[in-house]
């Protein structure tokens, strides 16, 4: 990392859990002032077991009426602006403009340079990443599990945006933490082969030939390498907080949280 840029702030204190419009969300403590950014929590209303809480995904088997109601509530949290579409996420590296998409667009990142245009991805262990320009109304949100990170969803997004990495700030939302994210040696090798020995500290030995992977550190390494100067977040583990977050690895059949990024008018 460049010695001239601030060190990443990767700890739970960089984010806070607050009530927004009657719903619990996790959001950055200090972020770009004109940007709305948060990840929804499970909450207590909306869907029934095993999706109990604020499930925002149709594809997991929840009642359609429950998801529609929850999505209407999400729109209220976004100052009554609705997303122009919802992605079909495939753990890849496709990036789309949120203002030109429709429902079912296959991609794992979307961006907008229009004020009041919410960008949304769904997660339940994968890492949501929010990018925001500090001096213009531009945001992006990424769905970044280990497959998406390895496919370089971060690099693809940065190369798509009409601003340089140095103009951006990043927030890393709730995801499965390294204590819970056990992987095989082939996953570690994928990153080592692609990114080099610099990512070795992102993996710690587990039982036998297994490793524990740190999605927050992997994302931070790549963002910093590509020139994003301000990175914060991490430390909120979806697997370890069943009352607060959905976790696919923990529960199998479960709901999905939404991570939202929206630029407000200057």
Task: Say if residues 246 and 158 touch (Cβ distance below 8 Å).
Answer: no
Q: What radius of gyration do the chain's Cα atoms show? A: 17
| Enclosing domain of residue 97 | 15-177+232-263
Q: How confident is the model at residue 4 (pLDDT cuts 50, 70, 90)?
A: very low
Task: CATH number of the domain at 149, please.
Answer: 3.60.140.10
Q: How confident is the model at residue 196 (pLDDT cuts 50, 70, 90)?
A: very high
Q: Which two tokens stand for residue 110?
A: 């979307």
Q: Is the pLDDT of residue 44 over 80?
A: no
H or E segment and range at residue 148: helix 146-150
If we measure between CA atoms, which residue out of 256, 262, 206 comes closest to residue 40? 256
Burial of 20 (0-12, 13-18, 19+ CB in 10 A): middle
Tell me if 172 is assigned to some domain: yes
What's the structural domain count of the chain? 1
If we measure between CA atoms, which residue out of 176, 204, 174, 172 comes closest to residue 188? 204
pLDDT of residue 133: 97
pLDDT of residue 5: 46
How large a percentage of the chain has pLDDT more than 70? Answer: 96
Tell me if 225 is assigned to some domain: no
Mean pLDDT of all residues belonging to the chain: 93
Q: Is the pLDDT of residue 134 over 70?
A: yes
Task: Say if residues 139 and 35 touch (Cβ distance below 8 Å).
Answer: yes
pLDDT of residue 102: 83
Tell me if 224 is assigned to some domain: no
Q: Is the pLDDT of residue 8 over 80?
A: no
Q: Is the pLDDT of residue 200 over 80?
A: yes
Task: Please state the rounded mean pLDDT for residues 29-34.
Answer: 93
- Nearest 5°: the CA angle 135, 142, 261 is 45
Q: How confident is the model at residue 3 (pLDDT cuts 50, 70, 90)?
A: very low
Tell me if 205 is assigned to some domain: no
Tell me if 227 is assigned to some domain: no
Q: Is the pLDDT of residue 257 over 80?
A: yes
Tell me if 26 is assigned to some domain: yes
Tell me if 126 is assigned to some domain: yes
Task: Please state the rounded mean pLDDT for residues 144-157.
Answer: 97
Task: Please state the rounded mean pLDDT for residues 40-53.
Answer: 87
Tell me if 70 is assigned to some domain: yes
Q: How confident is the model at residue 149 (pLDDT cuts 50, 70, 90)?
A: very high
Looking up tokens 């702030």 gives 9
Q: What is the pLDDT of residues 209-250, one digit of tens each?
A: 999 999 999 999 999 999 999 999 999 999 999 999 999 999
pLDDT of residue 7: 53
Task: Please state the rounded mean pLDDT for residues 166-177.
Answer: 97
């Amino acid at each position: 990392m460049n010695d001239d840029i601030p060190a990443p702030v990767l700890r739970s204190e960089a984010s806070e859990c607050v009530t927004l419009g009657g719903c619990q969300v996790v959001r950055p403590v200090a972020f770009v002032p004109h940007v709305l950014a948060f990840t929804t929590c499970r909450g207590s209303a909306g869907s029934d077991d095993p999706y109990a809480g604020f499930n925002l995904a149709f594809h997991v088997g929840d009642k359609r009426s429950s998801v529609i109601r929850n999505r209407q509530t999400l729109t209220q949290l976004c100052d009554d602006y609705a997303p122009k579409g919802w992605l079909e996420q495939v753990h890849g590296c496709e990036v789309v403009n949120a203002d030109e998409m429709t429902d079912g667009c296959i991609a794992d990142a979307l961006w907008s340079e229009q004020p009041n245009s919410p960008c949304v991805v769904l997660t339940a262990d994968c890492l949501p990443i929010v990018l925001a320009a500090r001096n213009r109304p531009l945001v992006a949100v990424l769905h970044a599990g280990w497959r998406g990170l390895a496919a370089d969803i971060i690099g693809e997004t940065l190369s798509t945006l009409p601003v340089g990495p140095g103009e951006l700030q990043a927030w890393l939302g709730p995801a499965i933490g390294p204590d819970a994210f056990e992987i095989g040696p082939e996953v570690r090798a994928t990153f080592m082969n692609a990114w080099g020995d610099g990512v070795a500290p992102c993996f710690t030995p587990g039982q036998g030939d297994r490793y524990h992977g740190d999605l927050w550190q992997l994302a931070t390494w790549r963002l910093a390498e590509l020139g994003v100067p301000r990175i914060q977040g991490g430390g909120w583990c979806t697997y370890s907080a069943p009352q607060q977050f959905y976790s696919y690895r923990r529960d199998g059949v479960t709901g999905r949280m939404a991570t939202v990024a929206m630029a407000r008018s200057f």
